Amino acid sequence: MFEVNSPISVVPKIGPKYQATLEKLGIFTVEDLLYHFPFRYQDFTKTKLISELHDGDVVTVKAILGSVQNIFTKNRKRITKAKVLDHTGELDIIWFNQHYIKNSLEIGKTYNISGKVGTFDRKICFISPEMEPTSDVFSSEKADTIHTGRLVPIYPETYGVSSKWLRSKIKFLLYSQTDLKEFLPKEILKEKNFTEINKALNTVHFPEVEEDSKGSLKRFAFEELFIELLNVEKRKSEWSKKVNSKIFKPFKKELDQLIESLPFRLTTSQLEALEEIITDLEKPIPMNRLLEGDVGTGKTIVAILASYIAHLNGTRVLYMAPTEILARQHKETFEKILKDTYIKIDLETGAKKEKVKDKDWDILIGTHALLFTENNYKNIGLIIIDEQHRFGVEQRGKIVEISKEETTPHLLTMTATPIPRTLALTLYGDLSISVLKDFPFEKRNVSTKVIPEKEREKAYQWIKEKNEPTFIVCPLIDVSESLSLENVKAAQEEFEILSKGVFKNKKVGLLHGRMKSKEKEETIEKFRNGEIEILVSTPVIEVGIDVPDAAIIVIESAERYGLASLHQLRGRVGRAEKEGFCFAFMSDNSRNSYKRLKYLEELNSGIELAEIDLKMRGQGDIFGSLQHGFTKLKVADINDLQMLEDAKVEAQKYFPKLDKYPELQIKLTQRKGEYINSN
């Protein structure tokens, strides 16, 4: 018997080499292989006699192998030629450069031959068909074939693992005994008319008719969402049990005084979000709120005001940023806003040689380094995680636990990544969500143009004449990162070309993730104060680098990014009342890419752009940019709102009574699968 949670190497003839290759497909366990579903089927159900064949037919022929030989042609081409026959005639089969095939064929044996009929030497023949031994040529009994004579499943593949190989291994598992048990409640199976799990797996992989597979796929799509949403309920429940957080007083008078002292007015949505946060902080259950806001909507000031409330309540604050550049930038902002409050603010990053002493701060701002410190943090009342999609679920849990006291800190997470409603239902269903919709500067505007390659020089001339601080963003650091990507710009090379070429009379700088922290800081500071006029960079600038005077951004190979990421990149310019300009260059001039990028010219809403990407590129791109630690959906359509809502209702219904469904409980604790890395 095979245990479905065993590593895939327990399956016969899957050694270390195949194991490593299968992992590229997200297949780590026996269950992962069973759940590696076909994305289409090749229809070989139509059968014909040899005498009935015509050029172009996609059919199956049942015939006896009469002969097979390897041939070298005059121009040294290697051909394998076989002859097969039935009672109506004979037919040639041709393979090119596959001499090894001869050793796998047995003269006198009956085969199913499936493929497309073509011509060779002006004769009808099969070229490189699928061949599979079958019952006697005169028998009317239907053979149990998997590669021929039926709907043949075609799977997502990778180099070294073909659909034919996958079919054989999956069929072997389906015929073997496993410990796979039905875990969906009987009530759900009955109400929704779903097929039982083992039968559904057989039907998905090897259906008699394609309609059968659709019913089973619907079951697996629901199952996927149901499990994901049960885990949301689980996280929600676990959080609600943390009932020992400190109840904060709102300190309205002091808070209003700080707000009045700000050099700008808070927007309506900032005030609403702040009110929602204060309401959470007044409860004994720790806050678990996500603050979502487009680039430039002012999330940081809301975080500072929440930190001020925590301080007034006698507790301290941990603030985690995804990069060292951003952590240092936030420290400056906190110090500027809170300069008259005597709050002690310090910085902790991996690059700092001298570690922060626990007693020396009220607000500690840092990177991942906060997770790995030996400090025994005390009296932490609030934890803030900026650009939270860059931290995994496990990391978020760990940072909450580093406060070594009985009380659980309140948690505020923030993101500028627009979250479509469908994903908010699944990924963030355990969080309360506040959305910043207004911009502090109403005139904020970034004009965006998708620029064809032939107009590149014209755009460069315009940039020179405009004479404004300019970002030029390349997807790679250097060309050696991916030799297979033609026309894709690399920052290192582009810096050399531009600084010696079209912008030779400008001060050009370079910024990328491999540079040392000090070097990065110095480069950004030079760009801020005008010592660098044009900054060639990788997307490291996407996350929060603030250069208020920057007015122009050029994005190379724009088709490689999601629309939401492009929207965040262009948010680096036009940040004050100054007009911004974004030029999107393409290295892939396909019509679909161009059509998708044109939405950037028309729309300035991150949410709308994310929704478009979800429809045009699928959920993989959105999940990839949004979240560590969530399973990428393999079957379910994230745009199927009805199924999402349905799965959510069922998850809320069954979670409180999970103890009555032991198999479902086991499924929740044994979740495995393909996890997304967004870095």
Q: Are 601 and 593 in contact (CB under 8 A)?
A: no
pLDDT at 612: 82
Give the separation between CA 79 and CA 120, rounded to whole angstroms.
Answer: 12
Q: Are 607 and 418 in contact (CB under 8 A)?
A: yes
pLDDT in tens, 266-307: 999 999 999 999 999 999 889 989 898 887 788 999 999 999
Cβ neighbors of 555 (< 8 A, separation 6 or more) are: 473, 561, 566, 569, 570, 582, 583, 584, 585
Nearest to 419 by CA among 274, 595, 562: 562
**Amino acid occupying residue 340:** D
pLDDT at 638: 74
Give the separation between CA 522 and CA 518, rounded to whole angstroms.
Answer: 6
pLDDT at 629: 42
Residue 181: Cβ within 10 Å count: 12
Checking phi first, is residue 206 left (phi over 0); if not, alpha (psi -120 to 50) or beta? beta
- Do 264-436 and 446-603 come out as alike in CATH topology? yes
pLDDT at 143: 65
Give the separation between CA 615 and CA 604, rounded to whole angstroms.
Answer: 18
Which has the higher per-residue pLDDT, 560 or 469?
469
For residue 615, report the phi and psi dihedrals to the nearest 5 degrees. -80, -40
Structure tokens at 614: 């979800």
Which helix (H) or strand (E) segment holds residue 41: the answer is strand 40-43
Which of the four pLDDT bands, split at 50, 70 and 90, describes residue 624? very low
Strand pairing of 151-154 and 316-320? Answer: unpaired
Which has the higher per-residue pLDDT, 322 or 419?
322
Strand pairing of 380-385 and 316-320? Answer: parallel
Which of the four pLDDT bands, split at 50, 70 and 90, describes residue 623? very low
pLDDT at 484: 47
Rounded average pLDDT over 612-625: 58
pLDDT in tens, 229-258: 998 898 888 887 766 788 999 999 999 999
CATH for 46-149 (1.10.3720.10, 3.30.70.1400, 2.40.50.140, 3.40.50.800): 2.40.50.140
pLDDT in tens, 16-41: 999 999 999 999 999 999 999 999 99
**Under DSSP, is residue 597 helix (H, G, I), strand (E, B) or coil?**
helix
pLDDT at 498: 95
CATH for 264-436 (3.40.50.300, 3.20.20.70, 3.40.50.620, 2.40.50.140): 3.40.50.300
pLDDT at 618: 57
pLDDT at 515: 87
Which of the four pLDDT bands, split at 50, 70 and 90, describes residue 417? confident
pLDDT at 395: 60
CATH for 446-603 (3.40.30.10, 3.30.420.40, 3.40.50.300, 3.40.109.40): 3.40.50.300
Rounded average pLDDT over 486-501: 88
State the Rg of the chain over Cα: 31
pLDDT at 632: 64
Which of the four pLDDT bands, split at 50, 70 and 90, describes residue 226? very high
Rounded average pLDDT over 390-419: 72
Which helix (H) or strand (E) segment holds residue 67: the answer is strand 58-72
Rounded average pLDDT over 573-591: 83
pLDDT at 575: 72
pLDDT at 528 over 70: yes
In the block, residue with structure tokens 């393909």: 674
Q: Which of 57-61, 266-270, 538-542, 621-625 has the lowest mean pLDDT?
A: 621-625
Cβ neighbors of 409 (< 8 A, separation 6 or more) are: 245, 286, 315, 318, 380, 381, 382, 383, 400, 403
pLDDT in tens, 346-404: 998 876 666 677 678 999 999 877 877 666 688 899 999 987 655 555 566 666 666 66
Q: Facing residues of 151 across strands? A: 43
Q: Facing residues of 233 across strands? A: none
Give the separation between CA 68 and CA 627, rounded to whole angstroms.
Answer: 55
Cβ neighbors of 155 (< 8 A, separation 6 or more) are: 36, 37, 38, 39, 163, 166, 167
pLDDT at 285: 87
pLDDT at 485: 53
Rounded average pLDDT over 211-224: 94
Q: Are 42 and 115 in contact (CB under 8 A)?
A: no
pLDDT at 129 over 70: yes
**Under DSSP, is residue 548 helix (H, G, I), strand (E, B) or coil?**
coil
Q: Which of 327-331, 426-430, 507-511 has the lowest mean pLDDT?
A: 426-430
Which helix (H) or strand (E) segment holds residue 211: the answer is helix 210-240
Which has the higher per-residue pLDDT, 84 or 417?
84
The Cα-based distances of 49 to 115, 121, 645, 657 in angstroms read 14, 21, 51, 59
Q: Which of 254-268, 453-467, 479-493, 663-677 has the lowest mean pLDDT?
A: 663-677
Residues of the chain above pLDDT 70, percent: 87
pLDDT at 138: 55
Which has the higher per-residue pLDDT, 111 or 548?
111
Q: How far is CA 263 from the centre of its chain?
A: 39
pLDDT at 674: 37
The Cα-based distances of 19 to 30, 36, 154, 341, 676 in angstroms read 11, 14, 20, 59, 19
Where do the domains of the chain lie?
Answer: 1-42+157-180, 46-149, 264-436, 446-603
Rounded average pLDDT over 198-225: 94
Rounded average pLDDT over 652-679: 74
Q: What is the mean pLDDT of the chain?
A: 86
Question: Counting Cβ atoms within 10 Å, is residue 346 exposed (0-12), middle (13-18) or buried (19+)?
Answer: middle
pLDDT at 679 over 80: no
Give the separation between CA 131 and CA 60, rounded to whole angstroms.
Answer: 10
Cβ neighbors of 3 (< 8 A, separation 6 or more) are: 10, 30, 178, 179
pLDDT at 68 over 90: yes
pLDDT in tens, 54-64: 999 999 999 99
Rounded average pLDDT over 480-497: 74
pLDDT at 430 over 60: yes
pLDDT at 445: 73
Rounded average pLDDT over 556-585: 86
pLDDT at 620: 47
Question: Counting Cβ atoms within 10 Å, is residue 598 exposed (0-12), middle (13-18) or buried (19+)?
Answer: middle
DSSP string covering 318-380: EEE-SSHHHHHHHHHHHHHHTTTTT--EEEE-TT-SSPPPGGG-SEEEESGGGGS----B-SE
Nearest to 203 by CA among 169, 155, 166, 153: 153
Q: Which of 9-18, 413-422, 565-574 has the lowest mean pLDDT?
A: 413-422
